[in-house]
Amino acid sequence: MKYAGNFFCMAQAKNLVMKFADLMPEVDFNLQENSEPKDYHKMLIEVKDGLIDFFVWPQEDFPGSVKEPYDYFIHETAAVVFLKGNDELTKLRQVFTFPVSFVGAGPGEPEWITVEGLNYLKNCDVCFYDALVNPQILNHIGPNTERKYVGKRGDSTSFDQGEINELIFNAVRDGRKVLRLKGGDAGILGRIQDEVDFLQEYELSWTISPGITAAQALAPCTGTYLTSRGVSDRVILTTARQAGGGLNQLMHFDRATLVIYMGILSIKKICSQLLEAGYPEDLPAMLAMNLGRSDCQELRGQLINIAELAEKNNLRPPGLIVFGDTAGVKSFPSYSPLLGRRVIVCGDNEALWKREEKFLRYSGAKPICLGDLSAYKASEMKFPEFDDVIFLDSRSVYDFHGIHSELEDGVNYTCLNKEVAVSFECLYNQVAQVTEAKGLVSESLRQLISREYLNALSAQ
């Protein structure tokens, strides 16, 4: 196999080809010596004319991509350019490039991403993320990682799938560790197959890390179970429209829960189709919007009126449409003061916030421990949504004030001691809730919320 190298990177070329030869001892690699520098475009012509099989070019001078019929990959600081379809070099690229990591980010709640998914987030070089990925999840990405939005929304301008494929492909060829972060589960009613097929065409590899699909969020967010003994023993997950854009013909679903993704904008046609198919007008129906987020919303009705309710409330994607007897049942746990509350714990004393986190977690809250708030001031990091805030030291009060200079209505702010409370009162000109001596701040928070709840009940 004949190859050439840029005159100024011949050592790079020889070292790289030594690795190739070690992997393919049966292939004879012959260097075509350059007595003088050659132009990049002349090298391309030599590859096309069959004078050489590939050439090595320094990455810093590489144009960043190639057009048909050429192909390439980058290893360390050198680009290897060859004709598309060269089997040996395609196989070598498999060795020297990283698999694309497809990760399901879940429907909205930042903690619903897997540990494996977080590890991919922390170690990728570039992250291509969807519209439905909670921005707080992106906080786990390293400061040097490139973030690229490639979202698709049914009610707004979306990225073309072909463009997304090319972006991923070029990043892989550039030798980068690529993360494709998708909302929900990457393999359920998404476009992962299109992207995987494209990678397969070029014999590139990938891994898939599963996520929680939106339908699985119905139980924790709305109290509606996908299955229930004696009511529904199967689940159908589908989309409102087929690949070509036409409305899906919905199958029979007696004793099943039908969950329709991406159907909010087509709900009138869906309901008409089901009525024409003979389903009863009083079939329980439900709309679930923004599952796993603080603005989660649900709307319940029946097949005959759910479309009208959606229009009346001006509902927009993203959301699920649920049909079946389970949609008429709502089961929520009894009142517990901290249940489901997003509580930020501010302070750099790890031992203290671990105590608070443990109590909050087992009280049903969603603790968010922030040791260093300064990171949110000078970066793209999204500040978490919250219902309550706990301050463990004065420094955290000042840092928090730098981000949120005004207090929010309905939020409880609690301080560890009087010293921290003084800082809070100076900055916000408002009296702070202070923890009793040696007690947990989160326990005082629970007392405060419980007192307000019981007082409200007494007043009724």
Q: State the catalytic residues.
A: 130, 152
- 367: which residues sit within 8 A by CB, 6+ positions away? 343, 345, 356, 357, 360, 361, 442
For residues 179-217, b (16+ Cβ closer than 10 Å) or e, as one string?
Answer: bbbbbbbbbbbbebeebbebbeebebebebbbbbbbbbb
Distance CA(386)–CA(160), nearest Å, equals: 35
| Sequence-ordered list of residues with C-beta below 8 angstroms from that of 147, at least 6 positions apart, any chain | 126, 127, 129, 138, 141, 380
Q: Count CB neighbours of 134 within 10 A.
A: 23
* Cα(48)–Cα(371) distance, integer angstroms: 57
Residues 421-427: contacts with CB under 8 Å, at least 24 apart: 422/394, 423/391, 423/394, 423/397, 423/398, 424/391, 424/397, 427/397, 427/398, 427/401
